[in-house]
Amino acid sequence: MNGKQLAFYINPWQQYASTVDQMVDKRNHLDPINKVSFAQKFLTQIRNRCLEIETLTSGVGVVISKKDLNDCLEEACRGILKQDEVEMRTRCEAFALQQTQLENLLYIKD
Protein backbone atom coordinates (compact mmCIF):
# COMPACT_ATOMS: atom_id res chain seq x y z
CA MET A 1 0.00 0.00 0.00
CA ASN A 2 1.42 3.39 -0.94
CA GLY A 3 1.20 6.61 1.07
CA LYS A 4 -1.88 7.90 -0.79
CA GLN A 5 -4.15 4.99 0.11
CA LEU A 6 -5.88 4.65 3.43
CA ALA A 7 -7.09 1.34 4.79
CA PHE A 8 -10.26 1.21 6.85
CA TYR A 9 -11.14 -2.12 8.39
CA ILE A 10 -14.84 -2.05 9.19
CA ASN A 11 -16.66 -5.03 10.54
CA PRO A 12 -19.36 -5.52 7.87
CA TRP A 13 -21.93 -6.67 10.43
CA GLN A 14 -21.38 -3.82 12.88
CA GLN A 15 -24.31 -1.53 13.50
CA TYR A 16 -23.62 2.17 13.99
CA ALA A 17 -26.96 3.18 15.40
CA SER A 18 -28.84 1.67 18.30
CA THR A 19 -31.79 -0.35 17.16
CA VAL A 20 -34.60 -2.16 18.87
CA ASP A 21 -33.33 -5.39 17.38
CA GLN A 22 -29.75 -6.21 18.21
CA MET A 23 -29.73 -8.93 15.55
CA VAL A 24 -28.06 -7.69 12.37
CA ASP A 25 -29.74 -8.36 9.04
CA LYS A 26 -27.37 -8.71 6.07
CA ARG A 27 -29.72 -6.56 3.99
CA ASN A 28 -30.04 -3.96 6.73
CA HIS A 29 -30.09 -0.26 5.88
CA LEU A 30 -27.31 0.20 8.42
CA ASP A 31 -24.80 -1.33 6.03
CA PRO A 32 -21.59 0.79 6.25
CA ILE A 33 -21.30 1.04 2.47
CA ASN A 34 -24.75 2.65 2.27
CA LYS A 35 -23.97 5.01 5.13
CA VAL A 36 -20.82 6.48 3.56
CA SER A 37 -21.53 6.19 -0.16
CA PHE A 38 -22.34 9.92 -0.48
CA ALA A 39 -19.00 10.83 1.13
CA GLN A 40 -17.09 8.52 -1.20
CA LYS A 41 -18.89 9.99 -4.21
CA PHE A 42 -18.09 13.53 -2.99
CA LEU A 43 -14.39 12.76 -2.61
CA THR A 44 -14.26 11.10 -6.02
CA GLN A 45 -15.91 14.12 -7.66
CA ILE A 46 -13.49 16.50 -5.93
CA ARG A 47 -10.53 14.43 -7.07
CA ASN A 48 -11.83 14.27 -10.66
CA ARG A 49 -12.53 18.01 -10.89
CA CYS A 50 -9.41 19.38 -9.22
CA LEU A 51 -6.04 20.06 -10.75
CA GLU A 52 -2.90 18.92 -8.98
CA ILE A 53 -0.07 21.44 -8.94
CA GLU A 54 3.40 21.48 -7.45
CA THR A 55 3.75 24.23 -4.86
CA LEU A 56 7.03 25.94 -4.06
CA THR A 57 7.19 24.93 -0.40
CA SER A 58 4.52 22.35 0.43
CA GLY A 59 4.75 19.76 -2.33
CA VAL A 60 1.64 18.79 -4.26
CA GLY A 61 -1.47 20.98 -3.94
CA VAL A 62 -4.87 21.04 -5.60
CA VAL A 63 -6.86 23.77 -7.34
CA ILE A 64 -10.62 23.58 -7.87
CA SER A 65 -13.01 26.16 -9.25
CA LYS A 66 -15.78 27.61 -7.08
CA LYS A 67 -18.41 26.32 -9.48
CA ASP A 68 -17.07 22.76 -9.32
CA LEU A 69 -16.76 22.88 -5.54
CA ASN A 70 -20.32 24.20 -5.19
CA ASP A 71 -21.63 21.48 -7.52
CA CYS A 72 -19.86 18.78 -5.53
CA LEU A 73 -21.10 20.16 -2.20
CA GLU A 74 -24.65 20.48 -3.49
CA GLU A 75 -24.70 16.87 -4.62
CA ALA A 76 -23.14 15.71 -1.34
CA CYS A 77 -25.83 17.58 0.63
CA ARG A 78 -28.54 15.94 -1.48
CA GLY A 79 -26.98 12.54 -0.77
CA ILE A 80 -26.88 13.21 2.98
CA LEU A 81 -30.51 14.33 3.03
CA LYS A 82 -31.64 11.34 0.98
CA GLN A 83 -29.80 8.91 3.26
CA ASP A 84 -31.28 10.58 6.35
CA GLU A 85 -34.80 10.49 4.93
CA VAL A 86 -34.49 6.79 4.20
CA GLU A 87 -33.09 6.18 7.69
CA MET A 88 -35.90 8.13 9.35
CA ARG A 89 -38.61 6.41 7.31
CA THR A 90 -37.15 2.98 8.06
CA ARG A 91 -36.94 3.69 11.78
CA CYS A 92 -40.50 5.03 11.89
CA GLU A 93 -41.80 1.97 10.07
CA ALA A 94 -39.89 -0.35 12.40
CA PHE A 95 -41.21 1.53 15.44
CA ALA A 96 -44.80 1.33 14.15
CA LEU A 97 -44.46 -2.41 13.60
CA GLN A 98 -43.04 -2.91 17.07
CA GLN A 99 -45.80 -0.81 18.61
CA THR A 100 -48.47 -2.84 16.80
CA GLN A 101 -46.86 -6.07 17.93
CA LEU A 102 -46.72 -4.93 21.55
CA GLU A 103 -50.35 -3.78 21.44
CA ASN A 104 -51.35 -7.19 20.11
CA LEU A 105 -49.41 -8.91 22.89
CA LEU A 106 -51.20 -6.76 25.49
CA TYR A 107 -54.55 -7.57 23.91
CA ILE A 108 -53.77 -11.29 23.99
CA LYS A 109 -52.68 -11.13 27.63
CA ASP A 110 -55.92 -9.40 28.64
Question: For 5-19, 34-48, 67-81, 90-104, which range has the lowest pLDDT when averaged over its residues?
Answer: 5-19
Number of Cβ within 10 Å of residue 40's Cβ equals 11
Q: In whole angstroms, give the CA distance from residue 97 to residue 104.
A: 11
- The larger pLDDT score, comparing residue 37 to residue 61, is at 61
Whether the predicted pLDDT of 20 surpasses 70: no
The residues, ordered by sequence, that sit 6+ positions from 89 with a Cβ below 8 Å of its Cβ are none
66-75 contacts, C-beta under 8 A, 24 or more apart: 71/45, 72/42, 72/45, 72/46, 73/42, 75/41, 75/42, 75/45
Q: What are phi and psi of 52, to 5 degrees?
A: -85, 135
Whether the predicted pLDDT of 89 surpasses 90: no
